[in-house]
Structure 1
Amino acid sequence: MLALAGLCAVVMLVALDSTIVGTILPRVVGELGGMSLYAWVGTGYLLASAVVIPIFGRLGDLFGRKYFILVSIALVVLGSALCGLSMSMPHLIAARTLQGIGGGMMIATAFAAPADLFPDALSRVRWQAVLSTAFAIASGVGPMLGGVVTEHLGWRAAFFVSPLMGVVAFVMLFLYFPLLKPKLLRAPRIDWLGGVLLALAVGMPMAALELGFSAPARPVLGLAFMGLAALSVALLVWYERKPEQPMFPLRVLEPRESQLLNVVGVMTGAVMFVLIYYGPLLLQTEIGLSPTEAGMILAPLVAGIPVGSVINGRMFPTQTQPQRLMVFGAVLLAV
């Protein structure tokens, strides 16, 4: 339970790191300038996270997750402090990208760790609901907290909220999270080529959308990146069937259920991140609300997540067709 409490502190750190920035970013751009770089504050973080999540998820499977989680916390705390000290938008984007690397490592290890602590799948769902609840509570508090701190202490102070949570999470996990290493028949070997191909396959489509098709549009560059992404995917599928310990085991995507779940995850994540990053911009620049008011309006969006998580955790083990819960949730999200 103490190890799980440490994981809850980690996912709260991830949530605060994501939601606070969305609320304060319009104020940051107003002071530092560089409105054309607004999207890159989020894109740099998400691109770095997307690249490292599958890689460190696999490394955690091979070597254990404890030390990866601790390193990820240190990177997020360092990146957040550098964001608070930023003197220009490029500096802020670089610091957010460093945070994205740490955040990706954190997500890859923290959300997979319950499978190590609770091997039974049915009981694990209930404990994962606890993680989801912690994530949602921090997500609900984050926008309001960011708005209040920004209005009273300035936007730089808001970036130093995450390091406080990071210290708590680091101490809890260092003391109580067990160093669980898988029992392998052979010494683990890192599939470096597979990792490079995986990073290109994940990162190039995002770079293509941001560099090729956002203003100023450079469609040739975008198409070149998309071509590189397609080539990387083809080489990844061909190559990853060969190593004994591939970076991205293709068997995880062979079941149709797994394919559909990943598509649903991409779509749901797209909706949530659009709302979290561009909701505050709309509310503050177009409607004229203060950061605190914008945070209060965003809070119900994420504060409702723990309710759904608890309901799902209760109902999932009893359902003969649990996919109906996802269908119902998708309909509510659309409405």
Structure 2
Amino acid sequence: MTQPKSEAAPEQPAAAPGGPGEPEPRSPREIRLVMIGLVIAMLLAMLDNLIVGTAMPTIVGELHGSEHMSWVVTAYTLATAASTPIWGKVGDLYGRKGSFLTSIAIFLLGSALSGLSQSMTELIAFRAVQGLGAGGLMVGVMSIMGALVAPRDRGKYQGMFAAVMALATVGGPLIGGFITDHLSWRWTFYVNLPLGAVALAFIVIVLKLPKVRSNAKIDYFGAVLLTVGITSMVLITTWGGHEYAWGSKQILGLAALSAASLIGFCYVEQRVDEPVIPLGLFKNRNFTMVSVIGFIVGFSMFGAVTFLPTYQQIVQGASATNSGLLLMPMMFGMLVISLVVGQAVSKTGKYRIYPIIGTAVMAGGSLLLSTLGTETSRFTSACYMVVLGAGMGFLMQITMLVAQNSVELKDMGVASSSATLFRTIGGSFGVALFGSLFTNRVTESMKAVPGFNAGGGGEGSAQMSPAKLKELKGPLLDAYQHGISNGMHTVFLWGAVISLVAVAAALFLREIPLRGGGQPGQAKPEQHLEAAV
């Protein structure tokens, strides 16, 4: 049996700047120019779904086929999740610059074709192409930054990515609404083309990375098994409780297929020279713990982003027009703390305390949000959102930083794609689980109300349309608002409980010195080896 060549990588980070496990020194000007391209690429990946989501009612109205509307999002999500680990491995084996440029080109091709779609079937197919490219955007951004900047100095730049996330979350719905109202829904896709062209130009002209030539072959069988496993998991979380009951044969069949595929994947990965995800990475305690933390961060963040606007619109009477602004307090907390933590890590080289604080604050923010009621003021709920956002700010960049610091430079793409994948899957599970809890709690709260219709969309339904909501008056509206508040209580109370798992994982992290920076007292290679075991 051939052992994977990269299994020992997590335990052997190099300490000498410019060494085989260390990025080559770069001038600040070169890094800043490359960062412009990376930031634009990340903005493309994050803005797309938010912009398109605002335009969906118009798209469905023109192309018809509302019964397939969910697949416009699902096709993109599936392709992104399934391709993420493969892009990471391709970058490690054949060069990060080439794989990143390819992913941008595929994303732009999918965007152009989506804008030209003449039917829902075409749109769904082209969104899958777009998602295939998007899977390489986030991985490419993080792995290229890992190849350019030593972990010790990375915090100086990672705050920009937190700012992009905040900008995309707030600005995406606003931009989507403006484009749909004043241009055409097709421009929600075409807008990617000039941005992508700028990103391509910066990366082609400015980015200089050593050429990688590998005779190794991609583990296609493992990639297929992983793709089937991830796809089945995403479909379970997408369809469960909506298209099919959780105990239906379709959902149980997908669960069995996912389990069998992932077990087969683990078996295959131990027997190939270049596994898609080297299982040896998980022998490193820090890599395993930040994977758990990243999963739970995705779980909590996407749950909050999904259900907080519902509460603010239905219970607090906020406008749905500028829905991105409703999340601004949470994004503000995330941005400020992420910037502060990034600078602190670069100055001190210490990071272990931040995941511990962040997971505890995230749990506290979820607990505060579980107290939201019909009488809670907008100011109070905004303060609670700031707390949750601050907790995430401690974690968003640190989890990626620790994952990348746990591997050699040659495995940077795999580390970046794994961290991204766990966060993506966590978000998918979070939306599905919280959605079921929310719907069940609202339904239970409304059963005693006259006029309640358990079938989706009727009066009192947890999935009420905006038109129906406007028709509610008096006691029925009060009861529905109480039902929404009860649903929020259940969602965030469970979110607080699940966050405690992240707190426990953070406590198991070890303070392994960050590579690079040339600071006095930095650990020697043998000290890294002792700390990693």
Give TM class, smaller chain: 0.7 to 0.9
Query: What is the alpha-carbon distance in structure 2 between the residues aligned to residue 331 and residue 244 of structure 1?
Result: 41
Any residues of structure 2 matched to 1:126-205 within 5 Å, and which? 126-181=156-211, 187-205=215-233
CA deviations over 1:86-127 (Å, ceiling 9, x no partner): 333332222211111000011222221111001x22212332
- Verify the 8 A CA contact 2:91 2:100 in the aligned structure 1: no
- SS of the residue aligned with 1:159? helix
Residue 108 of structure 1 aligns with an amino acid whose one-letter code is V
CA deviations over 1:19-62 (Å, ceiling 9, x no partner): 21222223333444444333322221111111110011011111
Query: What is the alpha-carbon distance in structure 1 between the residues aligned to residue 238 and residue 113 of structure 2?
Result: 24
1:268: which partner in 2?
297
TM-score (norm 2): 0.56
- Verify the 8 A CA contact 1:16 1:162 in the aligned structure 2: no
* Range with greater deviation from structure 2 (323-332 or 86-95): 323-332
Q: CA deviation at 1:173?
A: 0.6
2:81 is equivalent to residue 81 of structure 1: no
Query: What is the alpha-carbon distance in structure 2 between the residues aligned to residue 47 and residue 332 of structure 1?
Result: 32
- SS of the residue aligned with 2:353? coil
Residue 25 of structure 1 aligns with an amino acid whose one-letter code is M
1:39: which partner in 2?
70
Residue 248 of structure 1 aligns with an amino acid whose one-letter code is I
Residue 274 of structure 2 aligns with an amino acid whose one-letter code is Q
- Verify the 8 A CA contact 1:26 1:285 in the aligned structure 2: no
* Structure 1 spans left out of the alignment, 5+ residues: none
Query: What is the alpha-carbon distance in structure 2 between the residues aligned to residue 54 and residue 276 of structure 1?
Result: 25
1:27: which partner in 2?
58
Any residues of structure 2 matched to 1:163-312 within 5 Å, and which? 163-181=193-211, 187-211=215-239, 213-217=241-245, 219-273=248-302, 289=319, 291=321, 293-302=322-331, 304-312=333-341
Q: Structure 1 residues 187, 154: closer, same or farther in 2, change over 3 A?
A: closer
Residue 126 of structure 1 aligns with an amino acid whose one-letter code is K
- Verify the 8 A CA contact 2:91 2:98 in the aligned structure 1: no
- SS of the residue aligned with 1:238? helix
Segments of 4+ moved more than 6 angstroms: 277-288
1:71: which partner in 2?
102
- SS of the residue aligned with 2:186? helix
* Range with greater deviation from structure 2 (125-134 or 269-278): 269-278
Q: Structure 1 residues 190, 228: closer, same or farther in 2, change over 3 A?
A: same
Q: Structure 1 residues 288, 93: closer, same or farther in 2, change over 3 A?
A: farther
2:139: which partner in 1?
108
Q: CA deviation at 1:320?
A: 5.1
CA deviations over 1:123-144 (Å, ceiling 9, x no partner): 1233223233234334432221
Q: Structure 1 residues 127, 21: closer, same or farther in 2, change over 3 A?
A: same
1:12 is aligned, of 22, 31, 43, to 43
- Verify the 8 A CA contact 1:194 1:248 in the aligned structure 2: no
Query: What is the alpha-carbon distance in structure 2 between the residues aligned to residue 165 and residue 332 of structure 1?
Result: 38
Residue 297 of structure 2 aligns with an amino acid whose one-letter code is T
* Range with greater deviation from structure 2 (174-183 or 191-200): 174-183
Residue 38 of structure 2 aligns with an amino acid whose one-letter code is L
* Structure 2 spans left out of the alignment, 5+ residues: 1-30, 370-533
Query: What is the alpha-carbon distance in structure 1 between the residues aligned to residue 307 and residue 192 of structure 2?
Result: 21
* Range with greater deviation from structure 2 (168-177 or 317-326): 317-326
Q: CA deviation at 1:179?
A: 3.3
- Verify the 8 A CA contact 2:266 2:279 in the aligned structure 1: yes
- SS of the residue aligned with 1:93? helix
CA deviations over 1:173-221 (Å, ceiling 9, x no partner): 11111233458xx732221112112212222211234356532559212
- Verify the 8 A CA contact 1:143 1:299 in the aligned structure 2: no
- Verify the 8 A CA contact 1:144 1:299 in the aligned structure 2: no
Query: What is the alpha-carbon distance in structure 2 between the residues aligned to residue 269 and residue 253 of structure 1?
Result: 19
Q: Structure 1 residues 319, 164: closer, same or farther in 2, change over 3 A?
A: same
* Range with greater deviation from structure 2 (318-327 or 55-64): 318-327
Give the structure with higher Rg (CA).
Answer: 2
Query: What is the alpha-carbon distance in structure 2 between the residues aligned to residue 156 and residue 299 of structure 1?
Result: 27
Query: What is the alpha-carbon distance in structure 2 between the residues aligned to residue 308 and residue 30 of structure 1?
Result: 42
- Verify the 8 A CA contact 2:42 2:164 in the aligned structure 1: yes
Aligned length: 331
Any residues of structure 2 matched to 1:311-326 within 5 Å, and which? 311-316=340-345, 317-319=349-351, 321-326=353-358
2:91 is equivalent to residue 60 of structure 1: yes
Query: What is the alpha-carbon distance in structure 2 between the residues aligned to residue 43 and residue 142 of structure 1?
Result: 19
Query: What is the alpha-carbon distance in structure 1 between the residues aligned to residue 267 and residue 53 of structure 2?
Result: 39
Q: CA deviation at 1:85?
A: 2.6
Larger helix proportion of the pair: 1
Query: What is the alpha-carbon distance in structure 2 between the residues aligned to residue 257 and residue 47 of structure 1?
Result: 28
